[in-house]
A and B are shown apart, each in its own frame.
Chain A
Amino acid sequence: MHIGVDSFVAAVTDPATGRQIGPAERMGHLLEEIALADQVGLYSFGIGEHHRPEYYDSAPAVILAAAAARTERIRLGSAVTVLSAADPVRVFQEFATLDLISKGRIDLVVGRGSFTEAFPLFGLDLADYDTLFTEKLDLLLRIRASTAVTWSGRHRPALRGQGVFPRPVQDELPIWIGAGGSPASFARAGALGLPLMVAIIGGEPRRFAPLVDLYRRAGAQAGHGPERLKVGLHVFGYVAESTEAAADTIYPGWEEMFSTISRERGSPRPRGPSSMPPPARTAHFSWVTRRPWPTRCGGFPSSSVGWTGCRCR
C-alpha cells in the first residue's frame, strides 16, 4: 500500500507565538513540505481546492507546477479538483502540462467537493450540482480518450472535432473519482471503471466498506477488471513520537476546523479532546507505528483503526 500526504494549505496561526503566518510564507512552507515528502520517499502529495479564506489552495494546478519543478520522484495530484465549477478542457490542458513538467507523475482526482463556495463564485446554480459534475466528467473522459473531441451538453458549449493539447507523458492520464459518501458517486465511479479516492472526513473507515463494495460490484457489472478498480483513502492523520503527542499537537487546529464546519452546517461542535467519542478520536488523530512498546506511552484503543502498539521516546 502506497502512503502519501494531502494538504489544503490551511492558514496557520503559530501555536507558540499566536502570530498568523502570512500567505506567502505559508506557501513557502508548503513547498518545503512537498520537497521533504519527496526526499523521504513518500508516494504522493495531493493539493485540495477550496474557495474560502482559511485555505490557500484555490489554484491547485499552479501549486502543483511549483511542486513538480522541485521534486523528482513523488507523485503529485489534486485532492480534489472541483470539476463542476471548472472547464474540462482547461483542466485537462493544465494537468497534461503538469504531467510534462513532472515527467509523468500526475494524478487528476476530480470530485464535487465538500464545500459549495465555487458555485456562486463562478456563477453556477446549486440546483445543477449533480448534472454539472456528470456532464463535465463525461467531457473530461472524452478529451482523455482522444485529442480531437466531438461532444455536446447543457452546461458548456459544444466541441466539434477541436483538439485539446498538449497530451500527457503518461499513456493515460490517471483520473480518479473523489467520493465522500453518496452511494451514487461510488456506483458511478465503478460503472465508469475509474479508480476511487474515498474521503474519510468523519467516522470510522470500516463504515465505508459497503460503499467500496458497491463500487467494486458496479465495476464488475460494467465489465471492468479489478486492476482498474483501485481504491485510495484520504484520511485525517498525523504522526508523532507517541499517541499522546500526536493528539495533543493536532487537537487545537482540528477543533478549529470542525467547529467552523459544524457552525455552518448546524451540527454540534467539538467540546474538547476528552468529549470526543473514542472511535472518531482514534480514526482522526493517531497513526503510530506497530512496534510493541511498553504501556507507559498509553495509546488509544486499537479497535477503531487497528493499531496494536505505539512507539514512545
Chain B
Amino acid sequence: MRRVSEQLGGVDRMSLQMTNPRLAHADLLRGIELLGTEVAPQVAAD
C-alpha cells in the first residue's frame, strides 16, 4: 500500500472494494476486522 502511494505521488486514502458475490458474511467480517486491526495501523505508522 505504501509503494502504491509512492508510485502515485502520495495518496490520501485507499478504499478496499471487498464486494464479492461468493464471499461468506463471516469471511467478509473477518477481512474488515483484519483491515482495521492489522493493516491500517501498520500503514498509519509511517
- Measured CB to CB, the residues of A under 8 A from B are 1-16, 21, 29, 32-33, 36-37, 39-44, 46, 48, 54-55, 79, 195, 197-198, 205-206, 208-209, 212-213, 216, 230-241, 249-250, 252-254, 256-257, 287, 289-290, 305-306, 311
Question: A253, B14: Cβ atoms under 8 Å?
Answer: no
B31-46 Cβ-contact flags toward A at 8 Å (1 or 0):
1111111111011101
When distances are taken between beta carbons in the complex, the residues of chain A under 8 Å from B32 are 5, 33, 36-37, 40, 42
Instruction: Identify the closest chain B residue to A74 (Cβ).
Output: B36
Taking the closest CB of chain A, its distance from the CB of B31, in whole angstroms, is: 5
Instruction: Identify the closest chain A residue to B27 (Cβ).
Output: A249
When distances are taken between beta carbons in the complex, the residues of chain B under 8 Å from A257 are 19-21
Taking the closest CB of chain B, its distance from the CB of A177, in whole angstroms, is: 14
- Measured CB to CB, the residues of B under 8 A from A are 1-5, 7-25, 27-40, 42-44, 46
What 5 A-B pairs are tightest by C-beta distance, nearest first? A306-B3, A40-B36, A253-B20, A253-B22, A237-B16
**Taking A8-B17, A237-B17 as contacts, is the C-beta distance between A306 and B4 under 8 angstroms?**
yes
CA distance A246 to B29 in the complex (A): 13
Please, could you name 14 A-B residue pairs with CB atoms under 8 Å apart, sorted by A?
A: A3-B1, A6-B16, A6-B18, A21-B25, A42-B40, A213-B9, A231-B9, A232-B13, A234-B17, A236-B18, A237-B18, A240-B27, A305-B3, A306-B1
Question: B39, A253: Cβ atoms under 8 Å?
Answer: no
CA distance A305 to B40 in the complex (A): 16
Residue in contact with B20 in the complex, picked from A79, A205, A254, CB distance below 8 Å: A254
When distances are taken between beta carbons in the complex, the residues of chain A under 8 Å from B36 are 3, 36-37, 39-42
When distances are taken between beta carbons in the complex, the residues of chain B under 8 Å from A12 are 20-25
Question: A240, B28: Cβ atoms under 8 Å?
Answer: no
When distances are taken between beta carbons in the complex, the residues of chain B under 8 Å from A209 are 7-9
Instruction: Identify the closest chain B residue to A284 (Cβ).
Output: B17
Residue in contact with A2 in the complex, picked from B13, B20, B38, CB distance below 8 Å: B13
Instruction: Identify the closest chain B residue to A77 (Cβ).
Output: B15
**Taking A239-B38, A240-B30 as contacts, is the C-beta distance between A5 and B21 under 8 angstroms?**
no
Instruction: Identify the closest chain B residue to A232 (Cβ).
Output: B13
Instruction: Identify the closest chain B residue to A196 (Cβ).
Output: B12
Instruction: Identify the closest chain A residue to B44 (Cβ).
Output: A1
CA distance A5 to B29 in the complex (A): 11
CA distance A254 to B41 in the complex (A): 27
Question: A1, B11: Cβ atoms under 8 Å?
Answer: yes
Most A Cβ at <10 Å: residue of B16, B19, B31, B39: B19
Question: A234, B12: Cβ atoms under 8 Å?
Answer: no
When distances are taken between beta carbons in the complex, the residues of chain A under 8 Å from B2 are 1, 306
CA distance A236 to B5 in the complex (A): 15
When distances are taken between beta carbons in the complex, the residues of chain A under 8 Å from B40 are 3, 41-43
When distances are taken between beta carbons in the complex, the residues of chain A under 8 Å from B9 are 209, 212-213, 216, 231
Instruction: Identify the closest chain A residue to B30 (Cβ).
Output: A240
Question: A232, B15: Cβ atoms under 8 Å?
Answer: yes
Question: B14, A3: Cβ atoms under 8 Å?
Answer: yes
Question: A5, B22: Cβ atoms under 8 Å?
Answer: no
When distances are taken between beta carbons in the complex, the residues of chain A under 8 Å from B20 are 10, 12, 238, 250, 253-254, 257
When distances are taken between beta carbons in the complex, the residues of chain A under 8 Å from B1 are 1, 3, 287, 305-306
